[in-house]
Amino acid sequence: MLNDSTIPANIRTAIRNKEIMVGMTKEQVIASWGEPCWMCYGMRRSSSGDTWEYNPGGITSLGIGAGTYLYFDNNDVLRYWNGR
SS3 of residue 80 by DSSP: strand
As a whole number of angstroms, the distance between CA 9 and CA 5 comes to: 8
36-79 per-position pLDDT tens digit: 887 776 678 888 899 998 875 555 555 555 678 899 999 999 99
As a whole number of angstroms, the distance between CA 63 and CA 4 comes to: 39
Q: Average pLDDT for residues 19-48, to the nearest whole number?
A: 87
As a whole number of angstroms, the distance between CA 54 and CA 68 comes to: 5
Model's pTM, two decimal places?
0.81
